[in-house]
Amino acid sequence: MPSVFAQSTLVTLPDQRRLEIIRYGNPTHRPVVFHHGYASSGLSIPPHAELLEQLQLQILAPNRPGVGLSDVHTALTLESFADDVLFGLEALLIAGPVGLLGWSAGGLYAQAQAALYSAQTTTLHLLSTCLPLGEPATYRHLPPRWKTIKFLNDYTAPLARPLFLRLSRQWTREPDRMIDRFMNLLGPAEQEEAGNPVSRIVLRDAAQHGFSHRGQGVYDDGRALCRPPRFHLSAIQAPTTIWHGTDDFIWHPAPIYYLGSRLPHATLRMLPGEGHMLFLKYWRQILEQVSQEMGD
């Protein structure tokens, strides 16, 4: 559940689904939207309240359908969630442009929002991001492992439903064992980044939240990530910074250069020796740049 540092708000969407938005910081400060990773949630924000106060920023972290208290939406797409988020922001009386952050798979949702709602986006930061898996042009640049993952998602996804249900039960009952098990599957850089006890708790709680609703949200999220996008990367007009580690175990850095070439205003920050959770380590630098780009 959200900590004292975070405040959870439920917004009723036009189709009567509930969207949970977790707010960090002062509601009067400049808004930054954070799109969480796959099998994670809006609880993956580093607990640095003093930094948000110093920079006069608030973080709004929407939980995708089937995550936390957000209702399941089996027809989830990248585009439908961009619409959900915009409606949620308006319900919270946030009418002006926002900064966008997207970690891992959340980077693809951030790309969708930035492309579809360019006028409402001041800056875009992609943190160890995912690429558009369902786009044919991008598919050719995917590492072999991700081509296999997409193939399995496209043709055998229903067979994985029992797995997600079992994982949901395990995360509910044994979150500490599960976070240790998960980290042991990753590379040295990720294990070092999550070695901080605070970071471990953040990742653990976010994953436990992510596997709500019997794992249905994780299943639907995977399906959405692999569908052909209905937006063009060239539509992203906001200044974009791609933060990526050279030792990222989950997303090899090679395709990231290709992504950078597709985004009109992209700057690559390839960080030597860093892994997939680098945002936990570079949170201050990321938010300082966001604050500067958003202005007063």
- For residue 175, the enclosing domain spans 6-294
The domain that holds 151 is classified in CATH as 3.40.50.1820
Give me the number of domains the chain comprises: 1
Cβ-Cβ contacts under 8 Å for 29 (sequence gap 6 or more): 52, 56, 57, 58
pLDDT(152) > 60: yes
pLDDT at residue number 5: 76
pLDDT(1) > 60: no
Per-residue pLDDT band for 3 (boundaries 50, 70, 90) equals: low
Cβ-Cβ contacts under 8 Å for 43 (sequence gap 6 or more): 2, 6, 22, 36, 61, 68, 202, 205, 206, 209
In a domain, 1, yes or no: no
Closest of 206, 257, 256 to residue 37, by C-alpha: 206
| 269 vs 2, higher pLDDT | 269
pLDDT(287) > 50: yes
Q: Give me the chain's average pLDDT, please.
A: 95
The predicted model gives 35-64 an average pLDDT of 97
pLDDT tens digits for range 232-286: 999 999 999 999 999 999 998 999 999 999 999 999 999 999 999 999 999 999 9
In a domain, 163, yes or no: yes
Fill in the DSSP letter of residue 131. P
pLDDT at residue number 195: 82
In a domain, 113, yes or no: yes
pLDDT at residue number 4: 52
β pairing state of 121-127 and 240-245? parallel
Tokens standing for 141? Answer: 């640049």
pLDDT(109) > 70: yes
Closest of 294, 201, 189, 197 to residue 249, by C-alpha: 189
The predicted model gives 45-65 an average pLDDT of 97
3-state secondary structure of 72: coil
Per-residue pLDDT band for 210 (boundaries 50, 70, 90) equals: very high
